[in-house]
Structure 1
Amino acid sequence: MTRLVDRLRPHAIAFYRSFWFSTPATMRLWALAAVVVNAGITVTGAAVRLTGSGLGCPTWPRCTPDSFVPAPHDSHSPVNMAIEFGNRLLTFLVLAVAVACLIAAVRLARAGHGEGRRVLVRLAALQPIGVVAQALWGGLVVRTLLNPVTVSVHFLLSVGMIAAAFTLYARSGEGDAPPHRLVHRDIRTLGFFLTAAVFVLIIVGVVVTGTGPHSGDQAASRFGFDIESVVRLHTDVVWIVVGLTFALLFALHVTDSPGRARRGALVLLGVELAQGVIGYVQYFLAVPAFIVGLHVLGATLVWIATLRVVFLMRSRGALGAPAPDRALPHTANA
């Protein structure tokens, strides 16, 4: 036992120092952790619905009317209760990472790493606030018996949390100089249009989910739309997103834009194509739960890859160094 404690002590100290005596490097690691846990709980939340465990804990904040933890209940199986309760427990992991991000950002700003580092405090503060808002909204989801509107908003809040976490991650890895474009302004505008299109795609995908099977529980209601119509609309938006991505990738190459921006767009296109394959497979196999779960994971990765491309097309300079006073030559001539 003593040997085990001796082995764990250095890791515990390093863990403690990573946020209490944070550096730009550890701040970025905590921000990355926030991206991972927010993406993870988004996928596990979908797994709760796909396994029919949405009302495994039929009350909130308690799991059952008389207990905060799973207890025998006539209307729900132990497996469903365990799945739903497990997802609730993951909220505490997300909250712990969120608090660590906020502490790291505050300590970094107080350590004198530049006045601009205070923006990290504001971005990091969104994490615990978002977790609390999500928890409260999750209670509304349960109390409305998985109404598709509340379930949809619950997922979209997770999408917003991922965006906030990725912004914190991107901002913590760059300097505090005024932002300057690395690509032509029209290409950057195209990137913004692409981001908006991906968000619309996610919204339409949520409507498809709320219209089709896998409601999360037999008591849950569904949207009253025609499933074929919303699937067709979803497919149309997919092709718009893929077309915009290809146009962005082409524009980045013909203007000799920075390699990291071109690689980011190429990764995004690859993720979209893989997501498209999964989408068609789930459609022709009558939307099996496992494939739908992969599709939710793919949607999360598409969103993250899109945000990454947008941030790769501009710069605030390296940490501790000012950004260039003028645009790069290829930008000026584009």
Structure 2
Amino acid sequence: MVPVAERSPNPLTRARDAVWRPTAGSLRFLALLGVIGNAAIVATGGAVRVTKSGLGCPDWPRCTGDSLVPTHSPEHPALNMAIEFGNRMLTFVVLAVGVLVFAAALRLRPRRRDLVRWALAQPMSVVAQAVIGGIVVLTELHPASVSLHFLVSPALLVFCVVLWVRAGEGDAPPRPLVPRPVRRLAAGLVAACGAVLVTGTVVTGTGPHAGDAESRRWGFNIEDVTRVHSVLAWAAVALTVLTAAALHRVGAPPAARRRVHELIALELAQGAVGYIQYFMGVPGPLVVLHMLGSVLMWIAAWRLVCALRDRGPAPVTASPAPGPAAAEAPQPA
């Protein structure tokens, strides 16, 4: 077996090796950065909406006119332009992380094909997200395009979370850790969480935070769509409690029970924020916090599903073949 290179004290060298000479641990860390980046971009997207900065950069892919960066414009305040442009720049950061994750998955030895596929999905999805972001601007924040723009992030987070989990486990066929009815209950829970996310976009598209004062809104009654969203949220909570009870009843592994307890805590916190913002007239900061909570809930739900099966320990990784200079260096006996 090829020995793994010693850990360099130089942080830049360690960062390079995490991509060019990756281990399962370094790939998992890069995947975690992808999870964090995609959750953060949801929060910054929420900040764009509540500050009415959605058209701070009124063009795409340029910001204004012939300029890629914000320039002075009497029609768009500098702060709104800066917020929208900052959100666009974060997309490039998330894309860069996705490219690094893909490169690390390709360089991992032994190569694990399913990790390469999960990793490739990340930069490709970010590119799709950028294109949809352009459609959002060109349609002047139509609520349908804005909803799609948001919902791509949870879809992308599935790739990120699964890669994060898979990098730390083996490639054996999945071995169920709980009976099939419990796994089906967990799958229904994920579907309920997805429905909560979708109806949440309808509530936002009907409410006061359109991203711009002149943007079109859905013509629904805000109380009606909020009630539907709330009922689905309570259904997700009920399914989570049922899943927790089932996991305890069948003696599920401690990791699975921790995941479901984390999800219950997030759902209760999310519900509290939702009710508080509703009765306070939907203040902007709470909207951003609620959006961030929704993706954290989504991440926790997928971590729970992954905790219900076992694929064995992660294979021992070896460094890729060294370059010419390293190959000529004397080797220890």
TM-score (normalizing by structure 2): 0.91
Structure 2 residue aligned with 1:267: 262
Q: What letter corresponds to residue 286 of structure 1 in structure 2?
A: G
Greater relative contact order (CA < 8 Å, ≥ 6 in sequence): 2
Counterparts of 2:9 and 2:52, CA distance in 1: 42
Structure 1 residue aligned with 2:58: 58
How far 1:9 moved relative to its partner? 8.3
Structure 2 residue aligned with 1:278: 273
Q: SS state of the match for residue 10, structure 2?
A: helix
How far 1:299 moved relative to its partner? 0.5
Q: SS state of the match for residue 264, structure 1?
A: helix
Counterparts of 1:61 and 1:126, CA distance in 2: 22
- Where in structure 2 are the equivalents of 1:224-239 lying within 5 Å? 224-239=219-234
Is residue 319 from structure 1 mapped to residue 323 from structure 2 by the alignment?
Answer: no
Counterparts of 2:92 and 2:278, CA distance in 1: 35
- Where in structure 2 are the equivalents of 1:196-235 lying within 5 Å? 196-235=191-230
Counterparts of 2:221 and 2:234, CA distance in 1: 21
How far 1:43 moved relative to its partner? 1.1
Structure 1 residue aligned with 2:251: 256
Q: What letter corresponds to residue 110 of structure 2 in structure 1?
A: G
How far 1:17 moved relative to its partner? 0.5
Displaced runs of 4+ in structure 1, greater than 3 A? none
Structure 2 residue aligned with 1:68: 68
Q: SS state of the match for residue 64, structure 2?
A: coil
Structure 1 residue aligned with 2:4: none
Q: 1:125 aligns with which of 116, 120, 125?
A: 120
Q: What letter corresponds to residue 313 of structure 2 in structure 1?
A: A
For structure 1, the residue ranges without an aligned partner over 5 or more in a row are 1-7, 322-334
Q: What letter corresponds to residue 112 of structure 1 in structure 2?
A: P
Q: What letter corresponds to residue 245 of structure 1 in structure 2?
A: T
How far 1:320 moved relative to its partner? 2.8
Structure 2 residue aligned with 1:84: 84
**Where is the helix percentage greater, Structure 1 or Structure 2?**
1
TM-score (normalizing by structure 1): 0.91
Counterparts of 1:208 and 1:122, CA distance in 2: 34
For structure 2, the residue ranges without an aligned partner over 5 or more in a row are 1-7, 317-333
User: Percent same amino acid at aligned positions?
Assistant: 49
Q: SS state of the match for residue 243, structure 1?
A: helix
Aligned residues, how many?
309
Q: Deviations over 1:116-153 (max 9, x none)?
A: x1111111000110111111110100000000000000
- Where in structure 2 are the equivalents of 1:17-166 lying within 5 Å? 17-108=17-108, 111-113=109-111, 117-166=112-161
Counterparts of 1:9 and 1:85, CA distance in 2: 36
Q: What letter corresponds to residue 113 of structure 2 in structure 1?
A: R
Q: SS state of the match for residue 295, structure 1?
A: helix
Counterparts of 2:18 and 2:178, CA distance in 1: 35
Q: What letter corresponds to residue 77 of structure 1 in structure 2?
A: P
Structure 1 residues 22 and 146: alpha-carbon distance in aligned structure 2, compared to 1, 3 A threshold: same
Counterparts of 2:247 and 2:280, CA distance in 1: 37
Q: SS state of the match for residue 186, structure 1?
A: helix
Q: What letter corresponds to residue 21 of structure 1 in structure 2?
A: R
Q: Deviations over 1:276-295 (max 9, x none)?
A: 10011001101000111110
Q: What letter corresponds to residue 181 of structure 1 in structure 2?
A: P
Q: What letter corresponds to residue 97 of structure 1 in structure 2?
A: V
Structure 1 residue aligned with 2:323: none
Counterparts of 2:288 and 2:40, CA distance in 1: 12
Counterparts of 1:84 and 1:32, CA distance in 2: 25
